[in-house]
Structures are given as C-alpha cells and as structure tokens.
Structure 1
Amino acid sequence: MARHIYACPLRWSDMDAFGHVNNVVFLRYLEEARIDFMFTQAAEAGAGEFAGGSVVARHEIDYKRPLVHRPEPVTIETWVTRIGGASLTVSYEIKDVAEDGTETVYVTASTVVVPYNLAEGRPRRISPVEREFLSRFMDEQPAGCAA
C-alpha cells in the first residue's frame, strides 16, 4: 500500500503559550498534506478534477504527544481508507521517523472529503480517473482514530 509523504515545515507562529504546536494548527498541517496529495500529486497523475473543488465534511483527530517547534519539518503520511460514490476518507499520521526506523507519532487523524462542483454549488460524484488515483493509496487501516 502506498502512502503520500509530505514534509511539513513548522513555523514559529505555530506554537502556543505552552511552547508546543497549538492543537488547531495541526488541522492546517493536515490541509497542507491533503492539498499536496489531492491537488498536486493527483494532477500530476492525470486526476486533476479535485482542484476544481472539494469540501471537508468531517475531521477526526487524536493528539498523541506534544510537538515542539524546531527547524526540521515533520512528516505527514496520507492514505485513503474509504472511497464512496461522492465522498472519500483520508487518514493521516503526523510523525518523525528516525534513521533507525523508530517512529514518534504526534497525531493520527482522518478527514471525510466531498468533491464539490463550485459552479453548480453542489457535491459531485468521484470520477473514474479520480477513483483509480485514490485506489493506489487505499488501505483498510484507519489512522488510530475511533471509527
């Protein structure tokens, strides 16, 4: 099973008063990884319809441990756990991976995304080309969040 890997930079402004990345900032990190996956990588693979519009129907996030600001980016792995007719579920892990393969997971999360026709102002079906692209990243294993 393939996962999309995104190196997400940490910004000084992401920290809260307690010296770690604020909980709400993690949603921005997920968005950055999802855009890189669904817009950039999908378009490069010939499935660029997602860039025409999509909306988030649901987020679920579990905070595992605090993430402190540093100059190195954090790794966000993204994969697909469900493909429906007009929605999909994307799962994520925000983590560090040491040279020896040891992982430190900060967040597990999932997002329900609905493709959206902006011109018509309504949801749309997932196209066969999009489905084929998403299927390459399909895994039944959700990202540690309660289902």
Structure 2
Amino acid sequence: MDAFGHINNVVYLRYLEEARIDFMFRLARQADSGAFTGGSVVARHEIDYLKPMVHRHEPVTIETWVARLGGASVTVAYEIRDAETVYARAATVVVPYRLEDSRPRRLTAEEREFLSKYQDDGAGGLVEGSTAA
C-alpha cells in the first residue's frame, strides 16, 4: 500500500505478471501446447489507472486476452476489476526469446495457433479471468 492506503502501482505489475504467466504457461500446457517453452521477455508495459484500489481481502479478477499478434511479438491486454469496478486497463508486449543465445525470435506456428484462440475479436473475447488478492 502507499501512504494513502491504496494498492501501490508496482503491485499492479505483479498482478499482470501473475495473469500473464497463468495465461501463457498454465493454459498453454493444459492445451498440450509447447508455446513459449523456449523463453520470452517483456518489451513494454502500459497501464491506465482508472480508480484507486484500497487494500482488501477479496480477490480481484484480471481479464486477459490477446490484443495484437505480430510476427515476433504478442500484445496481451488486461482489465483489473471486481464485480462493480474496473481499476485499471493495461497491455504488455511480450517477445519470444531464445535463452541459449540471448536473442529475440519469431513466434512459432504452435504459439500463433495457441494465441489466436484468445485474440480479441473486437467484441471483448477474453481469456477466463485469473484472480489476485
């Protein structure tokens, strides 16, 4: 929390990270996809803080979807919310990465296939929400 009792802005990044890892790794494994097993890095974060969130014991939902699918990157979009309030909207650009030689790489066909299932169709096609406290 910050001095005013609000959730600190850095905590929002942790929430996004938890949702992104759940999406890109847990969901991919459940789908028997080898997507992102070779590594990935975050190239950019963008967050719009819409309303301060105070410390709470109830979880918030982080709705997650693919906003953009490029040749060598994917933009993951999010909404941090509860039943009544949207606290933040955010996006993260993720770049697939070859860990062994420390270089970015293109998305594989398997990664593109997995990610395309969660691409926003303009009507809010979202991944099932992850939760954070």
Match of 1:55 among 34, 37, 41: 41
Q: Aligned equivalents of 2:55 and 2:95: distance in 1? A: 32
The number of aligned residues is: 123
CA contact (8 A) 2:35 2:114 kept: no
What does residue 4 of structure 1 align with? none
Correspondence 1:33 to 2:14: no
Match of 2:108 among 117, 120, 127: 127
Per the TM alignment, residue 95 of structure 1 is displaced from its structure 2 partner at its CA by 0.1
Pairs within 5 Å for 1:1-147: 15-97=1-83, 103-141=84-122
SS class of match (2:68):
strand
Q: Give me the TM-score of the superposition, normalised by structure 1.
A: 0.79
Deviation string for 1:64-85 (max 9, x for gaps)?
Answer: 0011111111100000011111
SS class of match (2:25):
helix
Q: Give me the TM-score of the superposition, normalised by structure 2.
A: 0.87
Per the TM alignment, residue 129 of structure 1 is displaced from its structure 2 partner at its CA by 1.2
Contiguous gaps of at least 5 residues in structure 2: 125-133
Deviation string for 1:106-129 (max 9, x for gaps)?
Answer: 000001100111012101111111
Deviation string for 1:76-100 (max 9, x for gaps)?
Answer: 0000011111101000000002xxx
* Structure 1 runs of 4+ with >4 Å offset: none
CA contact (8 A) 2:38 2:99 kept: yes
Deviation string for 1:32-62 (max 9, x for gaps)?
Answer: 1000000111121122331431111111100
Q: Aligned equivalents of 1:119 and 1:49: distance in 2? A: 17
Q: Which amino acid aligns with 2:106?
A: R
CA contact (8 A) 1:82 1:140 kept: no
Per the TM alignment, residue 140 of structure 1 is displaced from its structure 2 partner at its CA by 4.9
| Overall identity of the aligned pairs, in % | 70
